[in-house]
Amino acid sequence: MLSFSKPRYSIDMTMITVDQLGKNYPVAIKEPGLKGTVSHFLRRKHRLIKAVQDVSFQIQPGEIVGFLGPNGAGKTTTLKMLTGLIHPSSGQVRVAGHTPFNRRKPFLEKITLVMGQKQQLLWDLPALDSLRINAAVYGLSERESQRRIGQLTEMLALEGKLTQPVRKLSLGERMKAELLAALLHQPQVLFLDEPTLGLDVNAQVGVRDFLRDYNQEYGATILLTSHYMADITALCDRVLLIHEGQLIYDGALDGLLERFAPFREVKIELEQPRTTEQLCIYGEVESIQGREVRLLVRREKLTDAIATILSDLPVLDLTITDPPVEEIIGRVFSAGQVA
């Protein structure tokens, strides 16, 4: 069992507090043509884009929380405000007892931000060289940096990889090395923006396993955004859903089913194919592939629907499950339902 020096928290401490957070961007409006160019130069007009609107939530020490939303919903903008990279237009933020946009050294030592589409390791140098630079930036002694690199290398299964130039590593190995670099100073709060972006299935599993182990060993608080629902279902009991800059759900992942999916999924294998018109009387027809049918049936009508299906149709097999989480969240976003 690997050992880390776990941070000490007060019993009632909230690691992340966000209160009515907002971010607006003025965007210049320019008409086409020469007249529009001259007018734009002499009297510039703007429209206001509300990227984030009145978002509020709290995260306790050691929680792993999924932060979900479609592209352009405001996820990355919120993360940048939480890490102090941009100043909010309104509201208040506290992370690990600090105001992020002050960017004080004690705050920076407690957080890290990992973006799957960005890299900090030097491309042509071995990852170990970049890690030594990071250790020096955070004032770690040679002995302490070697100890931490050794621990994280073992957890990430990167033995023998850190002495190779970064460009020689596979995409999964590079992402793991990026995580190692970001966690070398043992931050209390991890902001992870698409950490498994572009990775193959095995590499995604490896990163998830590491994050779970790191959370358990180190007690770190993690706010995770991902378009891969397997990341969320594997790591997060709680999720935040943001849509068009507004928080529309904050609660248990399982609670999405009860709140936003008042139906069950019924999969049927028939002796003979049926058309959508023949099947729609039993529920909402999601798909028909030959003799295999997928229906969505409202929960309160499920018992009667199953009895009717078994009575009317030549059923070879029938299973009842909850719809995939991806589909539920997609329906929430398309409906724009407000929490």
Each residue's pLDDT tens digit, 130-143? 999 999 999 999 99
- Ordered alpha helix ranges (H), the chain: 33-42, 75-82, 105-108, 127-137, 142-156, 171-183, 201-218, 229-235, 255-260, 276-279, 302-312, 325-335
How far is Cα 64 from Cα 166, in angstroms, rounded to an integer? Answer: 29
Higher pLDDT, 44 or 189: 189
290 pLDDT above the threshold of 70: yes
Q: Of residues 24 and 13, which shows the higher confidence score?
A: 24
Q: What is the pLDDT of residue 336?
A: 57
Whole-angstrom distance, CA of residue 106 vs CA of residue 214: 22
Q: Is it the case that residue 264 has pLDDT exceeding 50?
A: yes
Choose which CATH entry (3.40.50.920, 3.40.1670.10, 3.30.70.980, 2.30.30.140) describes domain 262-321: 3.30.70.980
CB 285 within 8 A of CB 295: yes
Q: What is 16-256's CATH superfamily?
A: P-loop containing nucleotide triphosphate hydrolases (3.40.50.300)
The stretch 13-28 carries a mean pLDDT of: 91
Residue 313 and residue 316: Cα distance in Å, rounded?
Answer: 9
Question: What separation in angstroms does the CA of 294 have from each of 43, 152, 298, 305?
Answer: 58, 45, 13, 13
Binning pLDDT at 50, 70 and 90, where does residue 10 land? very low
Q: What is the pTM of this model?
A: 0.80
Question: Lowest mean pLDDT: which of 43-52, 127-136, 278-287?
Answer: 43-52
Q: What is the pLDDT of residue 335?
A: 62
Mean pLDDT of 227-242: 90
Which residue from 65, 108, 230, 217 is spatially nearest to 154, judged by alpha carbons?
217
Average pLDDT over residues 114-143: 90
Domain ranges of the chain: 16-256, 262-321
Greater confidence (311 vs 8) lies with 311
Question: Concatenated DSSP letters for 162-213?
Answer: TTSBGGGS-HHHHHHHHHHHHHTT--SEEEEESTTTT--HHHHHHHHHHHHH
Q: How confident is the model at residue 182 (pLDDT cuts 50, 70, 90)?
A: very high
The amino acid present at 68, given as its one-letter code, is: L
Per-residue pLDDT at 69: 87
pLDDT of res. 337: 55
**For strand 45-59 and strand 64-68, is the pairing parallel, antiparallel, or unpaired?**
unpaired
* Cα 253 to Cα 157: distance, rounded to the nearest angstrom: 30
Sign of CA dihedral 243, 247, 251, 257: negative
pLDDT at 174 over 70: yes
Per the listing, tokens 């018109």 go with: 277
Q: What is the mean pLDDT of residues 189-212?
A: 90
Report whether pLDDT(91) > 90: yes
The pLDDT of residue 4: 38
Distance CA 4, CA 67 (A): 27
Note the pLDDT of residue 2: 36
Q: Please say if the pLDDT value at position 95 is more than 60.
A: yes
Nearest C-alpha neighbor of 17 from the set 86, 88, 96? 96
| Burial class of residue 327 in the structure, from the number of CB atoms within 10 Å of its CB (0-12 exposed, 13-18 middle, 19+ buried) | middle
- Calculate the average pLDDT of the chain: 88
pLDDT higher than threshold 60 for residue 338: no
The first and second tokens of residue 14, run together, are: 């909230």
Confidence of residue 8 (pLDDT cuts 50, 70, 90): very low
Mean pLDDT of 319-330: 80
Convert 198-233 to b/e letters by CB count within 10 Å (16 or more is b).
ebeeebbbbbbebbeebbeebebbbbbbbebbebbb
pLDDT reported for residue 262:
81
Q: What is the pLDDT of residue 37?
A: 78
